[in-house]
Structures are given as structure tokens and as C-alpha cells.
Structure 1
Amino acid sequence: MSYSGRQVFNPESLPSLHPSYSHISSTPLQPTSKLITIAGQVALDAATNTIPSSFGDQVELALANVKTCLDAAGAKITDIINVRQYIVNITEHDYATRVALYGKFMDGHKPPNTLVGVQGLAKKEFLFEIEVMAVLSS
């Protein structure tokens, strides 16, 4: 779907949790670049429609879902310009686990990043969520 050059869409391999949003928005900034915003990604396994129970597995799957969205938008990890992450009832162990997994995923790329401890997310089983913005230049 397009609105004045802006497009909203979903990767075929990622289900939406609710029909009220799209996973990805692409907004032209200039003739040769666009802002890519990716909705909060959680650990919903599209193939099995299941949510892993461990925090680490949830972080890994949410990051994989971010990668799926980046790929669908034609972007790469180094195009990311801002990140927001949410952890339910954050503990030191969860924080350390997230730091290790996120650092590996980002492979040295360090855009601004906000981490927020929250009481809950869209479903009670979700323990982690991540939102990403990227700029894609052509």
C-alpha cells in the first residue's frame, strides 16, 4: 500500500499479531534515500506459530525477525540508525544475555539504542521486543 510515496508492507514469512499494523514502512526522504521503520519485533515463530519460553531464545528469534524485515525492505544491519528494545521485568541475567546476543547480531554496528524495562508486552508470553529504524540510500 502506498501513501504519497510511502509504502507499508509485511514480509510474506512474518505474520502480523494484529491486522491494525504493518511490519514495515518505507518513507522517501529525498530522491535517493528512504526511511525504513520496522514495527516492534517479538519472538513469534512464523513456521510454528509458537513463542519460545526462554528469554535468550526470544531475543534471538526477535532479532531474526528484524533481519527478515530488513531484507524485505532491501536494507542491511549497517543501515540501522536507531533501535528501541523492551524487556519485561528486566534482570541482570536478561540484560547480559541481551547484550551478548544483540552485540553479535549488530556485528560492531552501534547506532543509538534505547533499552526500556516494561511490565508487559502485547502477549503475556513475550519477554522481549525490538523496534528498528534504518535509512536506505540508493
Structure 2
Amino acid sequence: MPRAVTLIRSATLSDVAEYAYAATAPAEARLIFLAGSCPLDADGATVAVGDVAGQAAACVVNLRTALKDAGAGLDDVISTRVLVATTRQSDLVAAWQVVRDAFGDHDVPSTLMGVTVLGYHDQLVEIEAVAAVLDA
């Protein structure tokens, strides 16, 4: 099945960023707006307490599940926002490395943010995403 997402690289902006600067989807694409993926297990308990990378990995697992349930996959994601409850840049980097590795060559436009607090007890990471698919 053809992909709806086209990643756009800038020839004039810095090439230091580990993601595309923009992405597009054609008008006929179905957009999927995903709620923030949280590091929760099937019982709703926060996993990997105190471990930013572990929580980021759990968020990716849950993101993959939500995408699959919507008829999509990571390659259909058009943008992400990664939220990390921290004031330390090293925590942001730890979460980002997990997300970047999960997406591989599909390096979608992303925003990485340190925030004060997230919604669940002991939650350190949350990943928001938008995907686009071309239905048959």
C-alpha cells in the first residue's frame, strides 16, 4: 500500500536536527490524531517508574498498538511531540534516543519538550502523534 506521508528536508536550515523539518499528506489521506501514548500497562499502572528511557519505550509500544488499531503504523506518522517531566536535558535526550531509534529512517518532524508534570502518578514520558493513511 502506498504511504501518505512525505517527509520534507530543508536545504537551508541546519542539518543537525535528527528529524525532517516538515511533512505533508495528500488531501485524500485520512488523518489519525492519537491521544498521548503513556507508559501504562494493561491494568493502567505506570511502568518503569523513575526510568525515562524505559517509560519512553513503553510509550512507543502503546503508540504502535494505538496506530495498529487505527489501521496504521509508525511509517504513517506525520509528526510527534515527546513530553518529558524533567528539568534535565539529559532526560530529554534519553527519551528522544528511544523514540528516534523506534522510528528509524522515518524521522518525522518532532518536538521534544520538558514539562512540569504529566497526568499519571509516576509518569515521566508521553508521546503525542498524528498519522496519515491512504485507505484502499
Q: Residue type of the partner of 1:107? A: G
Distance 1:92 1:83 in 2: 18
Q: Is the 8 A contact 2:85 2:117 kept in 1?
A: yes
Distance 2:54 2:91 in 1: 11
Q: How many Å apart are 1:123 and its aligned residue?
A: 2.2
Which residue pairs with 2:70 in the alignment? 73
Q: Structure 2 regions of 5+ residues with no counterpart? A: 1-24
Higher strand proportion (structure 1 or 2): 1
Which residue pairs with 1:114 in the alignment? 111
- Note closer, same or farther for the CA distance 1:50–1:127 as it changes in structure 2 (3 Å cut): closer
Q: Residue type of the partner of 1:36? A: I
Q: Secondary structure at the match of 2:132?
A: strand
Aligned Cα root-mean-square deviation (Å): 2.1
Q: How does 1:34-53 map to 2 (within 5 A)?
A: 34-47=30-43, 49-53=45-49
Q: How does 1:1-138 map to 2 (within 5 A)?
A: 32-47=28-43, 49-53=45-49, 54-138=51-135
Q: Residue type of the partner of 2:42? A: A
Q: How many Å apart are 1:104 and its aligned residue?
A: 1.4
Q: Is the 8 A contact 2:83 2:125 kept in 1?
A: yes
Residue-pair matches, total: 110
- Note closer, same or farther for the CA distance 1:30–1:107 as it changes in structure 2 (3 Å cut): closer
Which residue pairs with 1:14 in the alignment? none
Which residue pairs with 1:16 in the alignment? none
Deviations 1:57-93 (A, max 9, x none): 1010011000001111111111111101111114233
TM-score under structure 1 normalisation?
Answer: 0.71
Distance 1:95 1:89 in 2: 8
Distance 2:26 2:89 in 1: 42
Distance 1:121 1:136 in 2: 29
TM-score under structure 2 normalisation?
Answer: 0.72
Q: Percent identical across equivalent pairs?
A: 28
Q: Residue type of the partner of 1:45? A: D
